């Protein structure tokens, strides 16, 4: 394998701390990786006046994969929208064509009690939210502000966004959902609001059509309000949930919280060729930034997803995931997942423990 170029974008808040641990873990694997770091989000705005500078975007485009920390801080809330840290991640998704966002929600055996739901509802929980990431109301045009000419208050200031989806956009994400379900428990729940929205009716029609090519997979449709309810009522009834950008944003946070440990959950955003951006599901947590207490495991597990999905190194991904499990089994916990009887460690100690486990565990495959 010739050296693979990884764009490392730590970002803001706890981003740099958790990224340092993921980088350490990657380096412990002795793979031929070339890691190149660039600023993104608020950090990039401070350095160069833009949250996604051309140098960073070009590095991300050139790289085989992108490892992303987190962006955002309240101190940028007053900036105009185009300069806010969040625009960095939205820009990367758009410019890299990262339309498929895989957000697994996995309840680790040792962390079952950390969920806000009763342990029996979440024990063994393993669901996959597949969120469409480059369409919908996030990117739909027209959008803007104007003076209303109709509606309830003509003449008043109003703002508008456009929810839109095209058939090919829905087809490609539907195929990925059915393919993912085949490797799991064979069930897809497509979530929409087809009782109200045209986009959702098209979504439902197209997913139903694509399903004809996957007769071995079970397909259900569910309205998003009901899905939000079922996720807290009987989350284990789901396998793969496929949905649009906005509903997926909301439901994936809900699903993450069910596991009680958003600090543990990785995610992958893939383009049509399998190139991807990998990031923890949590945000930049500015309140604990710089204190060395953040949980680096979601970022470390995102690096594992990168090895599995983009770099075709499943055995190395297994090594990382097994090391994380082993460290949890030893009782090591960062503050977010700590409980009576376990050992509280900081960000760096957690990373060191995973590296130590990798180095002392023989490779089995």
Q: How far is CA 296 from CA 22, 79, 245, 312, in A?
A: 7, 29, 26, 23
Residue 323 binding target from ligand IPM, Mn ion, none, CB below 5 to 8 Å by type: none
- Piece of the chain touching ligand IPM by CB under 6 A; list 83-91, 115-123, 328-336, 355-363: 83-91
CB-based closest residue to ligand IPM: 86
130 within 8 A of 240, measured Cβ to Cβ: yes
User: Residue 249 CB, nearest distance to Mn ion (Å)?
Assistant: 4
Please identify, using beta-carbon distances, which residue of 29 and 227 lies nearer to Mn ion. 227
- Piece of the chain touching ligand IPM by CB under 6 A; list 30-38, 82-90, 232-240, 344-352: 82-90
- Piece of the chain touching ligand IPM by CB under 6 A; list 59-67, 85-93, 163-171, 332-340: 85-93
283 is in an annotated binding site: yes
Please identify, using beta-carbon distances, which residue of 126 and 249 lies nearer to Mn ion. 249
Q: Which residues are catalytic?
A: 138, 193, 225, 249, 253
Which one among 86, 158, 171, 249 touches Mn ion, defined by CB under 5 A? Answer: 249
End-to-end CA distance of the chain: 18
- Is residue 188 at the binding interface for ligand IPM, with CB under 6 A as the rule? no
Judging by beta carbons within 10 Å of its beta carbon (0-12, 13-18, 19+), is residue 218 exposed, middle or buried? Answer: middle
User: Residue 249 CB, nearest distance to ligand IPM (Å)?
Assistant: 5
d(C-alpha 35, C-alpha 24), whole Å: 11
Please identify, using beta-carbon distances, which residue of 176 and 323 lies nearer to ligand IPM. 176
- Piece of the chain touching Mn ion by CB under 5 A; list 62-70, 148-156, 242-250, 262-270: 242-250
- Piece of the chain touching Mn ion by CB under 5 A; list 43-51, 81-89, 249-257, 325-333: 249-257
324 within 8 A of 351, measured Cβ to Cβ: no
For residue 8, the number of C-alpha atoms closer than 13 Å in the C-beta half-sphere is 21
CB-based closest residue to Mn ion: 249
- Is residue 320 at the binding interface for ligand IPM, with CB under 6 A as the rule? no
Which string of b and e fits 112-144 if b means at least 16 CB within 10 Å?
Answer: bebbebeeebbeebebbbbbbbbbbbbbeeeee
344 is in an annotated binding site: no
Which one among 7, 9, 40, 90 touches ligand IPM, defined by CB under 6 A? Answer: 90
122 is in an annotated binding site: no
- Is residue 86 at the binding interface for ligand IPM, with CB under 6 A as the rule? yes
User: Residue 42 CB, nearest distance to ligand IPM (Å)?
Assistant: 12
Please identify, using beta-carbon distances, which residue of 244 and 351 lies nearer to ligand IPM. 244
d(C-alpha 211, C-alpha 219), whole Å: 7
253 is in an annotated binding site: yes
Contacts of 102 (CB under 8 A, 6+ apart): 128, 129, 130, 180, 267, 268, 269, 270, 305, 309
Which one among 8, 23, 89, 293 touches ligand IPM, defined by CB under 6 A? Answer: 89
Write the interaction track for ligand IPM spanning residues 212-251; mark x where CB under 6 A is met and - where it is not. Answer: -------------------------------------x--
d(C-alpha 89, C-alpha 85), whole Å: 8
Beta strand 4-11 pairing with 33-37:
parallel
d(C-alpha 291, C-alpha 130), whole Å: 33
220 is in an annotated binding site: no
Least Cα distance to 240 among 128, 133, 132 occurs for 128
Residue 89 binding target from ligand IPM, Mn ion, none, CB below 5 to 8 Å by type: ligand IPM
Please identify, using beta-carbon distances, which residue of 78 and 152 lies nearer to ligand IPM. 78
d(C-alpha 141, C-alpha 138), whole Å: 9
- Is residue 254 at the binding interface for ligand IPM, with CB under 6 A as the rule? no
* Footprint on this chain of Mn ion (rule: CB under 5 A): 249
* Footprint on this chain of ligand IPM (rule: CB under 6 A): 86, 89-90, 249
């Amino acid at each position: 394998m010739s050296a693979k170029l990884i764009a490392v974008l730590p970002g803001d808040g706890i981003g740099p701390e958790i990224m340092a641990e993921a980088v350490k873990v990657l380096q412990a694997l002795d793979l031929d990786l070339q890691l190149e770091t660039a600023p993104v989000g608020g950090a990039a705005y401070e350095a160069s006046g833009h949250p996604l500078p051309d140098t960073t975007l070009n590095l991300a485009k050139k790289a085989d994969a992108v490892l992303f920390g987190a962006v955002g801080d309240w101190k940028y809330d007053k900036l105009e929208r185009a300069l806010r840290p969040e625009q960095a991640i939205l820009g990367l998704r758009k410019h890299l064509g990262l339309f498929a966002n895989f957000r697994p929600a996995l309840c680790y055996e040792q962390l079952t009690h950390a969920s806000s739901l009763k342990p029996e509802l979440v024990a063994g929980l393993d669901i996959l939210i597949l969120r469409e990431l480059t369409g919908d109301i996030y990117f739909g045009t027209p959008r803007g502000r104007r003076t209303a000419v109709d509606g309830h208050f003509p003449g008043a200031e109003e703002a508008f966004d456009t929810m839109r989806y095209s058939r090919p956009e829905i087809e490609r994400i539907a195929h990925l959902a059915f393919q993912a379900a085949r490797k799991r428990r064979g069930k897809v729940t497509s979530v929409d609001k087809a009782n109200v929205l045209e986009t959702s009716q098209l979504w439902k029609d197209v997913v139903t059509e694509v399903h004809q090519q996957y007769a071995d997979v079970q397909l259900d449709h569910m309205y998003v309000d009901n899905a939000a309810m079922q996720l807290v009522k009987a989350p284990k009834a789901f396998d793969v949930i496929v949905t649009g950008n906005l509903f997926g944003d909301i439901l994936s946070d809900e699903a993450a919280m069910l596991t009680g440990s958003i600090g543990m959950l990785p995610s992958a955003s893939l383009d049509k060729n399998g190139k991807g951006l990998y990031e923890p599901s949590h945000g930049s947590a500015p309140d604990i930034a710089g204190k060395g207490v953040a949980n680096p495991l979601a970022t470390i597990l995102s690096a594992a997803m990168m090895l599995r999905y983009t770099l075709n190194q499943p055995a190395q991904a297994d090594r990382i995931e097994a090391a994380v499990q082993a460290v949890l089994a030893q009782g090591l916990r960062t503050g977010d997942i700590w409980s009576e009887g376990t050992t509280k460690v900081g960000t760096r100690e957690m990373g060191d423990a995973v590296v130590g486990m990798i180095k002392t565990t023989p490779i089995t495959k």
